[in-house]
Each structure stands twice: as C-alpha cells, then as structure tokens.
C-alpha cells in the first residue's frame, strides 16, 4: 500500500544514495496482479480475468544529465548501471535486466530516453506468482517515457507500454510470457477485474462485487523461477498441440484457444494419449471456463464462481501439471476450511500463491487454520494477504 510516509522515506533514501540535485524527484508505481481464472491460456490467444492489486512496485526517479541509467533497490546492496548507448549490456545485469529491456524497447519505439537514477521499493513478494516482474517493467516504462526528451510529443499509451514490458521479458530475461501480467499491471482499475482477450487485446472492466466475501492470497513461500522452470516447455507443448489440432480437424487456426470444447471432443480420439493432449485439453477447456465464470460472476452467483476456481485448479494440477506439492496442499486445506467457497493457484505455478474467496467474518480464522495445517504438512510457514483491488500504472502526484 502506497502511503505519503512511504514516499517520504523513499525520497530521503534516494537523496542519501544519489545526493541533492536541482532536478525534480518524481514517483511512479505499478501494481502486481492476481489472475482470478484463465491460467496458462494467455499465450494461446485465450481469455483471462486478472485484477490489479494494491501491492505494488514504486520507484523514485530523477534525471541525472548523463548517458547512464542507474538502478538501486531499497532491499538490495549495490548500484546497477548501463549506458543508453549500449542497452543490450543490460541483459548481463545481476539485477535490473527487466528495466534495461524496457528502456531498450522504449528507445526502439522512438522515445528519447535520458540518463536517470532509479530507486525501487515495493511490497509484492518476489517469486509469489503475483507478477512483481511486470510491476517493475511497467513502473520503469511509465517513468522512462514520462521523463523522455520527447514526452510532450509522444505521450504514452498504456497498452503499448504493456507490450513493451512483455517484449523486454522475452528478450532480456528469457521468459516467453503472455501479455496478461503486463496488461493487468498497466490497465488495472480499482474494484474491477479485467476480462481480456489475449489474441485481440479487446477488454472490458468487470466490477468485482464480492459482498460479504473477500479475496485472500495464500503464499506458499515456495518461490518459483519461471526462467528455470517448465514454463517454456509448456509453450513448446501447446505449440505442438496447435499443429496437431489443425492437422486432425483440417483447420488453420492461429491460436489453440480458437478451438471450442466440441472441437476437442471431436479430435480427442485421434490425438496421441500423451502429455501434449493433456495440455491441449486444459487450454481449450480453461478458456471456456473463463467465459462461464465471468457470466456467473456477473449474475451474482459467487458460490458458482468459486466452484469454477476449484475446477480450474484441478485442471492445472492434473492436465497442465504446474502446481506441485505446496500449491496442492494449500488448495486442499483451503477447500476443507469453513468460510472458503473457492480456491486455486494463481500465476505461473510451480510455487507462489493461491487465490481464495473467503467470507469476511471467517477471514481471521481461515488464515490461522489454513496456515497451521499447511505448515504441519509442508514444514513451510506461509504468508497471507487480504486483497484490495487497485489502479494500474501511473505517476504518483505529491
């Protein structure tokens, strides 16, 4: 949560690190996100339903009248720098390759980026599946675009900045992610989720009216590392699955999510009984699940929406195989706990968080009970966050 006190502390630390200057210190922020339903379909041209959180990345930024971008974080030692004349060198940074990638592609898009000093802070747990990477990318993008020499001429379009963030992650950190995380961080709206078609980028904000319920994120505290995980392998598998579906059905569809459930049922007897078939089934049925879940939510049927979340987790566990012992344990314990009407893993998987719909009056007991049971089964102490839904990437005016 961004507070005036936090901004003042960040400003003082910035001056401690970088010194006084006549240049103005400005502040920018972008949120993490929770995906309510629609997992591992964004890179298959599918529908997703994320919401921006009030957990966020924040940066203090100031022009430094040089050709160098300097990066610091309040929880890391050291200064990380790269030259605007050689942004590609940013790929080799121990920390800061996301920021370097964003600035590289901003310049490729015609922004006259200037030398800047950054100091980052934030309250999104790293490796939690809440997309701290996208938050850092969008914070950097809005800041660097706003301070560019030709900002008055170019301004910025948040969807374009989201695409730049995605490209930075592909090229500077080697994670072949879809667009959902960056889009949600850019386009979030308070008290709304986003129904996004990842193939077309058509979207609409959907009010998230939970009434007597709230969202609780349960962090397994088992960090995931997408670049070193099976994430890219899944992308290869669904690409092969698309080829198989087109060959069997005699179609030429561009995305796996262009197929309906009936198409899968028709093709299934001809699909080899292997992991790729499982991946295909998850993607196609998960995409349809998003449509049904949003319709149910808009009708005010929270119990039905919660059941859809459970179905999604089971599919991610059994067909897409991106959960693991810790996430499955958290899911199982939550589903057996009074007051919880829906639960599933959120994010890339292999660790991170579950999202849970819990009765507000039962929230405290839910956290104690689930935390105790999870720790007893895994030996890991979890963390919990009662969620508020916030706005997207922006400058903080003080």
Active-site residues, by number, are 181
CA of residue 372 relative to chain centroid, distance:
27
| Burial class of residue 271 (count of CB atoms within 10 Å of its CB; 0-12, 13-18, 19+) | middle
CA distance 336 to 89: 50
CA distance 116 to 257: 42
Nearest to 198 by CA among 46, 37, 34, 50: 46
Pairing label, strands 26-35, 116-122? unpaired
What DSSP line would sit under 109-147, residue for residue? TT-----EEEEEEE-SPTTSSS-HHHHHHHHHHHHHHHT
Question: In the beta sheet, which residues pair with residue 51?
Answer: 34
Nearest to 31 by CA among 206, 164, 224, 188: 188
Phi, psi of 11 (to 5 degrees): -60, -45
Query: Contact, 345 vs 72, CB < 8 A?
Result: no
CA distance 28 to 185: 13
Query: Contact, 60 vs 118, CB < 8 A?
Result: yes
Q: Which residues of 68-91 are buried (b: 16+ CB within 10 A; e: fewer)?
A: ebbbbbeeeeeebbbebeebeebe
Query: Contact, 78 vs 85, CB < 8 A?
Result: no
Site of tokens 């999510």: 257
CA distance 359 to 356: 10
């Amino acid at each position: 949560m961004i507070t005036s006190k936090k901004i003042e502390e960040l400003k003082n630390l910035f001056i401690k690190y970088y010194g006084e200057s006549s240049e103005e210190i400005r502040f920018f922020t972008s949120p993490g996100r929770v995906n309510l339903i629609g997992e591992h379909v964004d890179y298959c041209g599918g529908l997703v339903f994320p919401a921006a959180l009030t957990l966020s990345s924040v940066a203090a930024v100031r022009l430094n009248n040089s050709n160098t971008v300097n990066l610091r974080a309040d929880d890391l030692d050291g200064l990380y720098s790269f030259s605007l004349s050689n942004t590609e060198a940013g790929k080799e940074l121990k920390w800061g390759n996301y920021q370097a990638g964003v600035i590289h592609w901003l310049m490729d898009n015609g922004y006259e980026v200037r030398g800047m000093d950054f100091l980052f802070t934030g309250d999104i747990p790293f490796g939690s599946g809440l997309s701290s990477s996208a938050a850092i990318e969008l914070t950097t993008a809005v800041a660097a675009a706003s301070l560019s020499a030709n900002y008055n001429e170019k301004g910025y379009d948040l969807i374009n900045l989201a695409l730049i963030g995605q490209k930075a992650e592909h090229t500077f950190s080697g994670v072949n992610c879809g667009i959902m995380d960056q889009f949600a961080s850019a386009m979030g709206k308070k008290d709304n989720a986003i129904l996004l078609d990842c193939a077309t980028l058509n979207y609409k904000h959907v009010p998230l009216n939970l009434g007597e319920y709230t969202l609780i994120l349960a962090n397994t505290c088992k960090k995931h590392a997408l670049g070193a995980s099976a994430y890219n392998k899944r992308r290869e598998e669904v690409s092969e699955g698309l080829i198989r579906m087109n060959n069997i059905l005699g179609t030429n569809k561009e995305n796996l999510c262009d197929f309906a459930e009936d198409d899968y049922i028709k093709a299934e007897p001809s699909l080899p009984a292997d992991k790729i078939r499982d991946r295909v089934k998850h993607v196609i049925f998960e995409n349809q699940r998003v449509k049904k879940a949003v319709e149910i939510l808009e009708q005010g049927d929270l119990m039905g929406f919660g059941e859809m979340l459970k179905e999604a987790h089971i599919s991610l566990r059994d067909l897409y195989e991106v959960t693991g012992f810790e996430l499955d344990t958290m899911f199982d314990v939550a589903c057996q706990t009074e007051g919880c009407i829906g639960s599933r893993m959120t994010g890339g998987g292999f660790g991170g968080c579950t999202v849970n719909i819990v009765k507000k009056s039962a929230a405290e007991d839910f956290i104690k009970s689930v935390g105790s049971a999870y720790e007893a089964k895994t030996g890991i102490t979890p963390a919990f966050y009662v969620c508020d839904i916030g706005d997207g990437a922006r400058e903080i005016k003080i």
